Each structure stands twice: as C-alpha cells, then as structure tokens.
Amino acid sequence: MSETIKKIGVLTSGGDAPGMNAGIRSVVRTCAFHNIECVGIVQGYQGMIRGEFIPMDARSVKGIINKGGTILKTARSKDFMTKEGRKVAYDQLKKEGVDALVVIGGDGSFTGAMVFSAEYDMPVMGIPGTIDNDIFGTTHTLGYDTALNTVVEVIDKIRDTASSHDRLFFVEVMGRDAGHIALNVGVAGGAEEVLIPEENLGLDRLLESLHRSKASGKSSSIVVVAEGDKIGKNVFELKDYVDEHMSEYEVRVSVLGHMQRGGSPSCFDRVLASRMGVKAVESLLEGKSNFMVGLLNDVMSLTPLEQAIKGQSKINLELLRVSDIMTT
C-alpha cells in the first residue's frame, strides 16, 4: 500500500447517472477502511478550481446508496479545459493536501483527468458513470442498467396507449453517440424497429418494415430511436415522413429526455458502484494511476484511461439480429 497517498479527492463530472452516489459512498468508505482521508469535490472540475472541498467520512455517506443524481453535484467545466484553469485546480488540490483523485464520469471527464495527470504529479483513477454505456473497457457503466429499466417501464406504458388507439409511436431515447440503450430497450419492449447511430438502416428499410408489420396483422407499433441516430431525420421529421408515405398509420412521438437519467439506482448499479469504488481506491493505494476501473467478464479490471476514451464500445451485433428476428 502506498505511503504517499494520505488523502483522496472524489468528484462526479459530466452528465449525472444513477449509481454515482453509490460510487461516492464506496470511495469514501474504502478510504475510511484503509485509514485514508477523503474529500468530496463539489461540482466536478469546476468546484476543484473554486477550491470547494467537503471532508467526508464513512458516516457522511449514509442513506445515499439508493439515491439518484449525485450529492456532490456535477458540471461540464469549460475552465478546466484551459491550462490556466488546470493550474488553479492543481494549486487548490495542493492547498487542501489531496494526493490522488477518483473521477466518476464519462469520456469527457476522463480526458480532463488524463491531461491533468500528465501536466501535474497527480495520480488519477476513473469510474465510468454515464447512462449511455459508451465507454470502452467495461461492459457496464454506472447508471446504464437503471436507465434501461426506466425506459422499458415507460415503453410498456406507451404500448398500452399505442395498442388502444392502433397507433405507431416513435420513442426517442438518449444516446448521443451510442445505441446501447435503444437496442436493449427495443428488444425488451418489443419494438418494431430500432434506429441507432451505429447502423443507418435508411428510410426505405423503415417503411418496408412498417408495411410488413401492418401486413402481418399488427395494429400498433413502437419504433425506438436513439437521439444520435444517423438516418438524417429527427423523430418529428420521421413522423412527418411516415404520415406522408403511410396514411394507414396514425403516428405519435414521445421524447423521453432527461427522466432517463434520474431515479433510484437498480440493484445491479448499486453493486457495480460499490465494487468500482473499492477497486479505484485500492488501485491508487497500490501505486497505479491513469486507469479506469471496469467490469469485464464479471471481474473488476483496469483499462488505461487513454484506451477507455479512444476505444469504441461496440454495439452487440447478435442483439441486433435478435431484434430483427423478434419482429417476425
């Protein structure tokens, strides 16, 4: 165990995700377990620059494992992207006596961590937290499982009204660059078609699939669309397009938005966050830096931050095929 690390700072950064609080709790309690001091950094890198630190002990994280959002708050800091901003942040950390950092966030947050630790002597460890699951080096990011369950619950409800009215619904889900949420909820919610950024199915194929669905006797349909889909039309334009080409459908649109990022974390996310926090702190104490902890084959593993950022989290092609077969 490292003799040099006596105080660890933990922060959440980027878009929030259910399970971030469970991750903070785990980092704080693992520090307490190893007799290391821990401070929470408010509002991510922005709070680091302002020097907003909260001393945290095992009891200060009671009652948060089941809470969505992040008690430390989060931000996407523009100032930290500048050299001057990072210098101020480093000075604040030194003043506070912080020897190492655990950063809970997505690829933008990890890029900041990597640049920072290259410029200054500050060990960093990343915990992937984003509902999009678009990080290489882990099969699951914090919040992803909860978001899937939230969205499936909503799709089930939309299906009720869709089938009562014999309607076609375009349901937009989050996923700026990745279709993991869309593909999984599409299969779980029995969607007719799933439109994701990784595969541009094209408008012809969409119409073909909707015609086939009508011909096979289905009276209502759900098409799940990832927000980053590359078909070239947003959900409202897709509605107009189908209105124009298939008058037999009555079409409605539902954009789920930020509700997907909220809510109490699932059991899976709470356990994952607890495991990741332990691994992150203990890896720092073993003298490691510049890694992201991840779940691979149900084992906690470390991936260099650079790879986690640059590597692609690939869509599951087998699931894409399952989705196609299920619409028969």
Q: Could you list the active site residues?
A: 132
Instruction: Report the residue number, 93 or 174, with the smaller CB distance to ligand F6P.
Output: 174
Q: Does 15 bind ligand F6P (CB under 6 A)?
A: yes
Residue 190 labelled as part of a binding site: yes
3-state secondary structure 171-229: EEECCCCCCHHHHHHHHHCCCCEEEECCECCCHHHHHHHHHHHHHCCCCCEEEEEECCC
- Give CA–CA dist 179/224, Å, rounded: 10
CA 260-262-267 angle, to 5 degrees, is: 100
112 near ligand F6P, judged by CB under 6 A = no
Q: Which of residues 132-191 bind ligand F6P (CB under 6 A)?
A: 132, 174-176
Stretch that binds ligand F6P, among 23-31, 80-88, 124-132, 286-294 (CB under 6 A): 124-132
Give the strand order in the sheet containing 100-105: 53-55, 37-41, 7-12, 100-105, 124-128, 291-296, 299-304
Under the binding rule (CB under 6 A), the answer on residue 205 touching ligand F6P is no
Residue range at the interface with ligand F6P (CB under 6 A); choices 128-136, 190-198, 278-286, 313-321: 128-136
Interface region with ligand F6P, contact rule CB under 6 A, candidates 38-46, 126-134, 200-208, 317-325: 126-134
CA 243 from chain centre, in angstroms, equals 34
Contact with ligand F6P (CB under 6 A): which of 130, 213, 254, 313?
Answer: 130
> Whole-angstrom Cα distance, residue 139 to residue 135?
8
Q: Between 26 and 109, whose beta carbon lies closer to ligand F6P? A: 109
Question: Toward ligand F6P, which CB reaches closer, 16 or 192?
Answer: 16
Interactions with ligand F6P, residue window 247-266 (CB under 6 A): 261
